[in-house]
Amino acid sequence: MPWYSVFAGQSDGKFFGLDLHGSLGKGGYSRYVSPLTNPLFNESPYITTEIRPIYFHQKIPNGFVTRGGDIDVMALHLRLALTERLAFIATKDGYANINFDKTLPDEDGFANIAVGFKYAIFSQPEKERILTAGLRYEIPIGDLDTAGIELQGDGDGFLNPFITGATTLKAKPWRRSGPQSTVA
């Protein structure tokens, strides 16, 4: 039983009239694997309901102006399937801790938030093919800055349109593989 069914008190995937199963519901896609690389811009084409914790650790090279350091970011991806083809997405947020070895003072604070919608414009679950278009807006509300340099929370934000798709290739009857790609 999906986690949201516990809160809704039902097992049909409906929560306040929303179809939380999205494109993975009955008769939907069966081979969903969430993207692991570039999670800020690599959006899955599937319409899902999920909460996905993310942790990044990035070592700053010694050849950089700060002579090294590291960055740690803790964040959540939130997706809410509104129908089997439409989803609300919140794909950038989080708290960052930046430690520079020299030159700049260390900083920690909140990142900007990006929210939007995506819609499956082409969907063939029986053939495991899907093409989704979406639009995200990054809201400049973060508070990361160091030595007067605004790292987050500056400007007017930006719109990020994207198209993403996936398909399954049948190399042999017993083995399937499937490419997935995002163009932003």
pLDDT, tens digit, 9 for 90 and up, residues 165-183: 888 776 555 455 555 555 6
Q: What is the DSSP letter of 153?
A: S
Number of H helices, E strands in the chain: 1, 15
Distance CA 99, CA 84 (A): 43
Q: Confidence band (pLDDT; 50, 70, 90) for 161?
A: very high
Instruction: Give CA–CA dist 77/17, Å, rounded.
Output: 23
Amino acid at 93: D
Over the stretch 32-80, which tens digit does the pLDDT of each residue have? 566 667 777 788 888 888 888 889 899 999 999 889 999 999 998 888 9
pTM over 0.85: no
Q: Estimate to the nearest angstrom the gap between the alpha carbon of 138 and the chain centroid.
A: 13
- What are residue 32's DSSP bridge partners? none
pLDDT confidence band for 3 (50 / 70 / 90): very low
Contact 135, 97 (CB under 8 A): no
Mean pLDDT over 146-155 rounds to 80
Cα–Cα distances (Å) from 181 to 2, 44, 147, in that order, read: 27, 8, 38
Q: Give the model's pLDDT for residue 7.
A: 43
Q: Label residue 28 by pLDDT band (50, 70, 90).
A: low
Band of pLDDT at residue 121, cut at 50, 70 and 90 = very high
Structure tokens given for 108: 């920690």
pLDDT value for 86: 94
